[in-house]
Structure 1
Amino acid sequence: MSGQAAIVAHAQHWSGTPYHHRASLRGAGADCLGLIRGIWRAQCGAEPEPLPDYSPSWAEAGRDEALWQALMRHMTPAFVPADGQVLLFRLQSRALAKHLGIQCASGAQFIHACPRAGVVQAPLSAPWARRIVARFTFPAVFDRME
């Protein structure tokens, strides 16, 4: 299984995990960042830096794109869509970019965590796709699936 396919497979293993802000434990609770953190631990090893405080609000405004900056420090920006990429979304025009997902199903779907549904695989519909502000790939992927 390729590295990107392993990332999608691992993300799919998180399906059904309930939503819990700041959590990252498959089957017990995760938010969108927690999903990415869990995949990181399984694929790359220890998390690269301590997790700062962050608000659950997708409408949070400000100038400090902390999540985007952290992704730039630890992942590789991607410019051609591909399954297994981390998608960064800005859900409101004046808000910070702070929602994450994993592209899958040849770009037709993505896996993410949202408050009402938990971790789900959902259509990457036009309203979602137009909110993508950046894409990233995990660093050299090691097949360390749990």
Structure 2
Amino acid sequence: MNADLVVAAARLWLGTPYRHQAATLGAGCDCLGLLRGVWRTLYGDEPMVVPPYRADIRDPAHAGALRAEAERFLVPVSGELAVGQVLLFRLNGMAEAKHCGILVGSDRFIHAQERLGVVEASLTEAWARRVSGRFGFPAAR
């Protein structure tokens, strides 16, 4: 998928409030909701109905689910970081990815964060250490 299209779609969401399990532009979303909304902009509809999930990142019932679905619907990438990639992050020393965002510059990414909503942030060394997977949006669906 064209990186400029991915970045433009992600930037539409800036300022959207944080809402767990939501994916509504301007009204609310969480990190997965941001990806779902960008997907809809790029392809027209979502590839699946997302089952309910808990906000607690320590929820063992969904360990590995974010990576599994990324592997199912997105394209794994290797090599250098590239604009337009979906980044999966481990949080709080957890083994499994529980957060995601979209790289929009060489050191900038967009993600949905509690209390902040959808923001563009610096990919600091601390964030970069937490990256546990990188994916691209498919060329066509």
TM (norm. structure 2) is 0.92
90-99 or 40-49: bigger deviation: 90-99
Task: For residue 141 of structure 1, report the CA deviation from its aligned partner.
Answer: 5.2
Quickly say closer, same or farther: Cα 1:109–1:53, change in 2 above 3 A: same
Give the 3-state SS of the residue equivalent to 1:98 in structure 2.
Answer: strand
Unaligned runs of 5+ in 2: none
Q: Does 1:69 align with 2:81?
A: no
Shift in Å, 1:138: 0.5
SS at match of 2:5: helix
Per-residue deviation, residues 83-112 of structure 1 (Å, max 9, x unmatched): 010000011223531101000122x11000
CA distance in 2, matches of 1:97, 1:130: 12
Gaps of 5+ in 1: none
Query: Shift of the alpha carbon at 1:12?
Result: 0.9
Q: How many residues were matched structurally?
A: 140
Aligned to 2:101: 101
Match for 1:117: what amino acid?
L
Whether the 8 Å contact between 1:91 and 1:99 is mirrored in structure 2 is yes
Task: Please give the alpha-carbon distance, in whole angstroms, between the structure 2 residues aligned to 1:11 and 1:132.
Answer: 19
Q: Percent identity?
A: 47
Kindly indicate whether residue 119 of structure 2 is the aligned counterpart of residue 90 of structure 1. no
- 8 Å CA contact 1:101, 1:112 repeated in 2: yes
Residues 9-20 of structure 1: pairs in structure 2 closer than 5 A = 9-20=8-19
Local SS of the residue matching 1:92: coil
Retained in 1: the 8 A contact 2:53–2:62? no
- The answer (yes or no) to whether the contact 1:61–1:94 under 8 Å persists in 2 is no
